[in-house]
């Protein structure tokens, strides 16, 4: 775990439960060869389509668009569910561990406690955001996404993310 920052409440909320499962050795060891092989196969397929024929290139671009769009929504959905679940779980965890009363006795405003829980629920899902950003960058690089579409794909889900984080805390 990283050292405690200047906001210990945010640090506690962000790193409670240890590192994310996505970076555990049991997931990384088998996943890395598959991911590298898949990426190399896609690069070779797309490069071949680029140099062979214009129709083949357009079909490859359309295929990329379908695949990238599917993964965009999968990654976004997983992040949204994770944000809502983490936000709801922070207050519930405090009640189950019977630390809510002690937390409310701290000499800080309740607004700061909720803000730390809200912000931590957004930060805990950063692996899904990294995958989402990789999808958008890859789609813009191969021409499946128009650059303006890539920007909109980054900006459009922000209100939904903030809403679900807030609803999670409210629940």
Greater pLDDT, 1 or 130: 130
The tokens 């200047």 sit on which residue?
Answer: 6
Following CA atoms 21, 22, 24, 27 in sequence, which dihedral angle do they give, to the nearest 10 degrees? 110
CA distance 124 to 75: 14
The tokens 């092989």 sit on which residue?
Answer: 37
- Could you tell me the pLDDT band of residue 35, with boundaries at 50, 70 and 90? confident
**What share of the chain in percent tops pLDDT 90?**
19
Report for 16-20, 25-29, 82-86, 142-146: range of highest mean pLDDT:
82-86
What average pLDDT does range 71-93 have in this prediction?
88
Q: Is the pLDDT reported for residue 82 higher than 80?
A: yes
pLDDT, one tens digit per residue, over 98-157 is 887 888 888 888 888 888 888 988 888 888 898 899 899 988 887 888 999 999 999 999
pLDDT at 158: 93
Q: Is the pLDDT reported for residue 161 higher than 70?
A: yes
Greater pLDDT, 46 or 121: 121
What tokens were used for 22?
């996505």
- Could you tell me the pLDDT band of residue 1, with boundaries at 50, 70 and 90? low
The tokens 């807030």 sit on which residue?
Answer: 166
Burial of 64 (0-12, 13-18, 19+ CB in 10 A): buried
Burial of 75 (0-12, 13-18, 19+ CB in 10 A): buried
Q: Is the pLDDT reported for residue 56 higher than 80?
A: no
């Amino acid at each position: 775990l990283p050292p405690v920052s200047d906001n210990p409440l945010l640090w506690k909320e962000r790193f409670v439960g240890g590192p994310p499962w996505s970076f555990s050795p049991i997931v990384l060891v088998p996943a890395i060869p598959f991911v590298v092989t898949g990426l190399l196969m896609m690069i070779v397929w797309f490069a071949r389509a680029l140099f062979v024929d214009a129709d083949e290139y357009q079909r490859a671009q359309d295929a990329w668009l379908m695949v990238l769009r599917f993964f965009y929504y999968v990654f976004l959905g997983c992040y949204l569910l994770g944000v809502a679940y983490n936000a709801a779980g922070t207050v519930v965890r405090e009640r189950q561990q019977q630390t809510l009363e002690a937390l409310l006795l701290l000499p800080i405003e309740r607004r700061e406690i909720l803000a730390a829980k809200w912000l931590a629920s957004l930060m805990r899902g950063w692996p899904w955001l990294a995958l989402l950003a990789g999808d958008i960058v890859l789609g813009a690089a191969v021409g499946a996404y128009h650059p303006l579409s890539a920007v909109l794909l980054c900006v459009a889900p922000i209100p939904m993310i903030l809403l679900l984080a807030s609803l999670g805390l409210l629940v």
